[in-house]
């Protein structure tokens, strides 16, 4: 780790330099598994800091845009090598900062390596087309050009993977960036920025500004030199930034929430279904936009499945993520824990039956962290708030379905449409579900969470702005098309 990263007071990265913010206010960064551990103090930056970063990105844009594809590819390849070399170190920081298990933390860093390697190839691939012209002396073609300065606003739940799956294509296609990470995970953002800097990214191409979303995020959305905003986070914040940025003509990409269903068909393998639901709902403490939140079970399997799921939930080891024996870590903050506990109370008040969990954990290994027991509700009605609203915690509701068509109707009966899954041995049922469910990502016999880095990622309905991230689909957002008519001069 660099000298800067060993300090307790961290800085922004603007124009190729680590710089103090314009104000003196700093925010402590706590370990959610043990709040007695403070991982450093990070800036609560101002609009002035954002303006400085945007100017640096705008100044660096012309030279970076002209940098050849092979040169950009070489830098991203080197970044992948550095990140892979530091995977254990950064994975441990991620676990201490965000709370997920060490296996998930290191795994997320290695996923970042995969993403970088994919996008290192993009500057070497064709990104334009030739067309036949009515004029035989005209060479008619298109090329993809950078959109410009991009504001990159990322959440805390995947503090390595999501920034990299935005920054890697942003940079690969010749844009410059101002990166605003979540306030709850600033140290991993710092380390990601270090990786790009060490890889040789020119000054000003990537700028890091820490701080609250209502200041830094809004300043990015309003700044006239920010050509595009890519955002992952809550629906309320995303829609607010969308209105601000699009009002001045900026391009905006949103990836928002989910209320993801798993349909358990009556022919499903029971043990497989229980494990798929448990992993999808409880891994990462349910703090994934693709986490399983609703389990829609065919009536003949309902009793047996529910009993098995409860027993599996009770068996989960909950503790600090740094312990290799831990299956589920803490929630990321006290605010998030209180929100989850409020939803559990709402579920009870609505008439759902709490079968296990539902309370904060206060044992010796839990008393200094934000732990909640894995929670399972039964007798959940599709119209209940716990079946409609994103909880973002280790809470799953079991819903009865009398037919596959009713299960699909329930699955589609929410404002979200990110991910969905069906567990079945019947290929006809699988394809009926695939064709009927309103979700951008569909799984068959696997959990709702999980996405490979080379294919499009995104949702339908209230889960996105109808754009896609990852894979070659990212080109649509991070570039714009230029059509060229090249006429031959007279002979």
Catalytic residues: 255, 289
Evaluate whether 2 touches 194 at the Cβ level (below 8 Å). yes
Residue 404, classed as helix, strand or coil, is helix
Q: How many CB atoms lie within 10 A of CB 52?
A: 21
**String of DSSP letters for 414-462:** SSEESEEEEE-S-HHHHHHHHHH---SEEEESS-S----TTS-B--EET
d(CA 263, CA 244): 38
Evaluate whether 286 touches 344 at the Cβ level (below 8 Å). no
d(CA 7, CA 76): 27
Residue 159, classed as helix, strand or coil, is coil
Taking CA atoms, 222 is separated from 177, 206, 317, in Å, by 15, 19, 45
d(CA 459, CA 419): 7
d(CA 116, CA 68): 17
Ranges of H-type helices in 132-269: 161-172, 186-198, 218-222, 235-247
Evaluate whether 22 touches 48 at the Cβ level (below 8 Å). yes
Phi, psi of 164 (to 5 degrees): -70, -35
**Per-residue buried b or exposed e for 58-93, using 16+ beta carbons within 10 Å of the residue's own CB:** bebbeebeeeebeebbebbbbbbbbbbebbeebbbb
Half-sphere exposure of 404 (CA within 13 A, CB side): 19
């Amino acid at each position: 780790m660099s000298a800067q990263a060993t300090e307790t007071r961290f800085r922004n990265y603007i124009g190729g330099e680590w710089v103090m913010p314009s104000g003196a206010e700093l925010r402590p960064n706590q370990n959610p598994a043990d709040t007695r551990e403070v991982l450093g103090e990070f800036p609560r930056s101002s609009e002035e800091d954002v303006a400085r970063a945007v100017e640096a990105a705008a100044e660096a844009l012309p030279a970076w845009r002209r940098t050849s594809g092979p040169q950009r590819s070489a830098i991203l390849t080197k970044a992948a090598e550095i990140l892979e070399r530091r995977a254990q170190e950064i994975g441990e920081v991620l676990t201490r900062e965000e709370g997920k298990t060490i296996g998930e933390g290191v795994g997320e860093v290695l996923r970042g390596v995969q993403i970088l390697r994919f996008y290192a190839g993009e500057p070497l691939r064709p990104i334009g087309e030739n067309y036949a012209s009515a004029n035989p002396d005209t060479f008619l073609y298109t090329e993809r050009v950078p959109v410009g300065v991009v504001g990159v606003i990322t959440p805390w739940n995947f503090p390595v993977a999501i920034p990299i799956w935005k920054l890697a294509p942003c940079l690969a296609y010749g844009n410059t960036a101002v990166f605003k990470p979540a306030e709850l995970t600033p140290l991993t953002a710092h380390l990601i920025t270090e990786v790009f800097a060490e890889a040789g990214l020119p000054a000003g191409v990537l700028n890091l500004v820490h701080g609250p979303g209502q200041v830094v995020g809004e300043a990015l959305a309003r700044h006239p030199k920010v050509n595009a905003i890519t955002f992952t986070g809550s629906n309320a914040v995303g829609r607010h930034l969308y209105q601000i940025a699009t009002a001045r003509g900026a391009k905006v990409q949103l990836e928002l929430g989910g209320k993801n269903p798993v349909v358990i068909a009556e022919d499903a393998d029971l043990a497989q279904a229980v494990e798929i639901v448990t992993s999808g709902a409880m891994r990462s403490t349910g703090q994934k936009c693709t986490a399983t939140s609703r389990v829609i079970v065919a009536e003949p399997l309902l009793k047996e499945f529910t009993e098995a799921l409860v027993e599996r939930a009770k068996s989960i080891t909950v503790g600090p993520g740094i312990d290799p024996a831990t299956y589920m870590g803490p929630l990321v903050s006290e605010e998030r824990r209180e929100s989850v506990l409020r939803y559990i109370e709402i579920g009870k008040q609505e008439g759902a039956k709490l079968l296990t969990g539902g309370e904060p954990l206060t044992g010796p290994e839990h008393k200094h962290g934000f732990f909640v027991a894995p929670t399972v509700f039964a007798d959940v009605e599709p119209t209940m708030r716990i079946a409609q609203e994103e909880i973002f915690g280790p809470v799953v509701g079991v819903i009865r379905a009398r037919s596959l068509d009713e299960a699909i109707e329930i699955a589609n009966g929410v404002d979200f449409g990110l991910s969905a899954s069906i567990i079945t041995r019947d290929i006809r049922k699988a394809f009926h579900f695939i064709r009927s469910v309103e979700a951008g990502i569909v799984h068959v016999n696997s959990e709702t969470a999980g996405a490979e880095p080379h294919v499009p990622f995104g949702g339908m309905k209230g889960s996105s702005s109808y754009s896609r991230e990852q894979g070659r689909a990212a080109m649509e957002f991070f570039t714009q098309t230029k059509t060229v008519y090249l006429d031959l001069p007279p002979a």
